[in-house]
Structure 1
Amino acid sequence: MFLARKTPVRRSPRGWSYPLVFAAPGLLVYACFVLAPILLSFGYSLTNADLFHPAADFTGVRNYLTIFADDSFLRSLYVTTVLTLIVVILPNVGGVAVAVLLDRRGWLYNALRSVFFVPVVLSSVVVSVVWMAMLQDEGLINRLLGTRVGWLSDPDLALYSIAFVISWQMLGFCSVVYLAGLQGVPPSLLEAAQIDGAGPWLRFRRVVWPMLAPAMTLNTVMLLITGFKAYDHVQVLTAGGPGLGTTATIAFTVIQTGFAENRTGLSSAMAITMLVIVAVASSVLLRVLKRREIDL
């Protein structure tokens, strides 16, 4: 009996190039619109460049030393940190509550999900203009409350008002992510916990909440980035005021320094510093939350 000899399959030495061909357009767009601006900004940050004098002198790390000795930049770093903490906490807490309330069947709950998600797809400028009209001294909020609070004109309240507006806009995003996590909880686990005598709160604490850990990781990292790059809301609602930079975030300070003051090199150093802070904070937070997912 003769056995058929198998012909060895020859693999092309260039087989690895086929995935690269399909990935090339995306990589090209990423390189042109992400990597190139970052490298260009880093190059500008090492010079004394400005918009009207492209030929600049190399200054090394002088711009970086300048910004960390600049009171306005340090103030903007503090403002951004406070704003980010509020923006991370409020939509996460509110998102869980809304997701639990909307985790039902029926056309009404489907419609409410769409309603809560609408602010996410709206422009930040549109949202800010609407809220600015309501938060004015004679606006709708004060009329409903019967007060005359300077939500945007009081230096002690303006930053918290901006943080509330950003949190309100991001609430729908967090709710949808948490709702997806809730719908991924196996009903058998909830039924087993109920049979064991666990009440609604204990079932949520011991069964549902641990399984929402991936959703919390995604929401927290996204909200961290959103808080640090806040600019549109600040520009429309308060323009960095009231007072001297009471609501000026790092992104707002970068734009003002680069375009209003025409100090491109210094503003580029601020932008690169913000990029490093966001990258480090996101990496640390992602690692901590991922470890939490494993522990749970």
Structure 2
Amino acid sequence: MNRAEWSRFMTMYRILIRSSFRSRMQYTFNFWVGTAAAAIINAVEFALLAVVLHRFGTIQGWSIAESGYLYAVITLSKAMYRSFASDVHHLEKYLVSGDLDGLLLRPAPVLLILMTQNFSPRFGETLLGASMLAISLGAIFEDDPAIWTAIPLTVLAIASGAVLMFGIGLLTASSGFWLTRIDALQVLTEDAARTAAQYPLTIYPGWLQGLLTGLIPVAFINYMPALYIIRGTHGAWTLGLSVAVSGVMLLLSLKLWKFGLSRYQSTGS
């Protein structure tokens, strides 16, 4: 994509995002209730982990602050991914209903339309994740000036994690061009894998650690960067590798999406 094409893409993206957001804000009460509910659900999830940590002190050497950091990073990455690529996760309903046919007739790339359709900024999850991140970093570093290095590196990890989650989500969604029904697969590759990555990877058996770093590499969203950023037990290569994995996953998912879309058979409805 050259500079002119990228500029047109971003201009179209902003227009579609604004239009989608205005549409959702017609039901203001429903929007804010959903936002609050998402924040509460995530807070309760971490509260359960905090209770366990308070009882036993640490999990495999990870303190409550360090575990909170892992949870905050993946929460913010997920919020960013789901905000800016909303309906990629819901491709199945377009395939089953035949609504994808209508998207193909629009004068815009199908993926761009899906990314902006039903735009829903995750304010609740973002606020919760940012608050947990601030508290966790404060507890981990206390008066250590190294926190000022950790903050921008964490922002990079969050952005890289969002790209990785988008790549995994798009790769899974693209399989729908052949499988159609992909909700069970999404539960495995997105929901279950993300839930597992909320906790230190060392609590899992070796085969599951391999799964979460290889086949479904969600460990590169938060765990691998954290080994360098907050623990200092590994070199900066862990953060660089995380960014590289995100880039590779993005490229693979875009190629599979393009190939799958070219093989899509219209329902004719």
Structure 1-normalised TM-score?
A: 0.29
Structure 2-normalised TM-score?
A: 0.31
Using CA pairs below 8 Å that are at least 6 residues apart, which structure has the higher relative contact order?
1
Select the structure of larger CA radius of gyration: 1
